[in-house]
Amino acid sequence: STVHDLLYIANISVGGRSYPVQLDTGSADLWIKGSTFPLPNTTQTSTTVNMTYGIGWAFGNISYASADFAGITIPTQAYLDVSQASNPALSYGADGILGLGFTSLSTVDSLVNRTGASNGRSLLYNVFAENPQEPNFIAFSLQSTSNPGDDVPGIFSIGETEPQYASVMNSTALPTWPPSYPIRWNVLLDAVLVGGSTVPVSSVVVGAPSGKAVVMLDSGTSYTYAPEDVCNAIYGGIPGAQYDASLGQWTVPCDAEVDMALQFGGNVYPIHPLDVTPTSLSDPNSCVGSFIPQAVTVGAGDFDWLVGDNVLRSVYAIYDFGDFDSNMYMGDPYVKLLSLVDPDKASEEFHQIRGGAPNTNITYNAANTTSSSGSTVISVSDELADTLNKIGTYFPAILAIMALNALVLLVLAGAAITYLCRRRTKAARKRQTPGRSSPMPMNPTSSYGLPSGHAYQPVSMALTEDTFVPPSPAFSKPGFDANPLQPGARPKSVA
């Protein structure tokens, strides 16, 4: 479910009772503020914590209860039973937040680990641990209510993709940044494409490649926070558009279509123009820029952009926590994106709502993100030159010996494979339920309900408390806690 396209909600059962929670890839903890405190059928501890987000906070006790999510049961899940909170999620129909980030970002897990216990892992970690045969990824699409012609359902799934989006598996895998042991769902952005122009990007993140920006994909944030020069390039050329310092946003004529795309991994992903200039939440007759020129204050130094739902609605996304290789070593995490926007169709939908004539034959020219290299002349000494000549003379003989050794190894490997195949008595069992989907409820009911006359505002649920020491590496190779993985075992990633 979506509330004014500001946040996305799904149901989770804790202690046998169902609660609507906001889905948030920018954090890793589950917290709930129910109608009673403590929640029924839970075990509460004396450990308290205050979680601070980009907007809002939540205070409560670390507790344990059984949980059910997306058809998967977790016998004991650590979460924050909230007694006090000031958070927009509660006003928008949710009873809390479900973090879908890495456990290394989890405040609950960090505090539990300090007591010497290890049962504070995130919900996704436990989902994977309880279901060793589940593929190690989550996937979802975000529904848009501002576009009547939108036929994209809001669907969250674990370990499987929606049939109509199965081609996402063929998309380019976007490594996280950093590629190993990440804390957040950060990826590298190549460029911003606005009309026929390319807007270059850069990064202040230490070690990031030149000509790239490190962006965090955060389903818990309504809009996108980007550098000022990028926002100026998006909105500055629109007649009648101006930056409103009191709003901290650009105001844009509602009939002004902005055709733009983001480029990741050399691939172009168009953004629906209705999401680039949404109608103002306070005045439906005016429109604002959803790319906000504001410095990112959460995770300072970890990423350059905070990419929110205004972008994520235009893609079907897979967040993979890492795959096994043939040696049962777990690989690094990655993201895969599938574009859901046809630029020409999106233009028609935009003008059906905003008026005017649609654009046609909209194309984007991908930026060249490969670095050029020139020729280099290297001088070597006479002694080294003589050595190289001798290698050239005897090189054919060396190759022949290497080829013979390779042939022997291939014969031995073939014999071993034949032996193993003959020993196998039956084929591997195919999983009966390859994955589970949980449609986002269209009419979420919070324990509090929605207050009348409520003024909706964009939300940001990126966790700001990064002062703790991560309890363990986000990934281990092979396995977790230095234990080797057994064939067929669940990857012990920290989800």
- List residues with catalytic annotation: 24, 218
Count CA atoms within 13 Å of residue 198 on its CB side.
14
CB-based contact 437:162 (threshold 8 Å): yes
d(CA 439, CA 259) in angstroms, rounded, equals 30
Q: Tell the burial category of 181 from Cβ atoms under 10 Å away from its Cβ (0-12, 13-18, 19+).
A: middle
* Alpha carbon of residue 444 to chain centroid: 23
3-state secondary structure 102-133: CHHHCHHHHHHHHCCCCCCCCHHHHHHHHCCC
Nearest in space to 218 (alpha carbons), one of 438, 446, 54: 54
In terms of DSSP H, where are the helices of 424-493?
A: none
Single-letter residue type at 366: A
* Alpha carbon of residue 309 to chain centroid: 11
Kindly state the tokens that stand for 214.
């490190």
CB-based contact 195:471 (threshold 8 Å): no
Token look-up 């409103």 returns 244
CB-based contact 92:23 (threshold 8 Å): no
Q: Tell the burial category of 287 from Cβ atoms under 10 Å away from its Cβ (0-12, 13-18, 19+).
A: buried
DSSP 444-491: ---SS-PPTT------B--B----SPPSS-S--SSSSTTPPPPTTPPP
- Cα separations in angstroms, 59 against 40, 51, 79, 87: 18, 6, 12, 11
DSSP 138-163: EEEE---SS-TT-----EEEES---G
CA R_g for the chain? 26
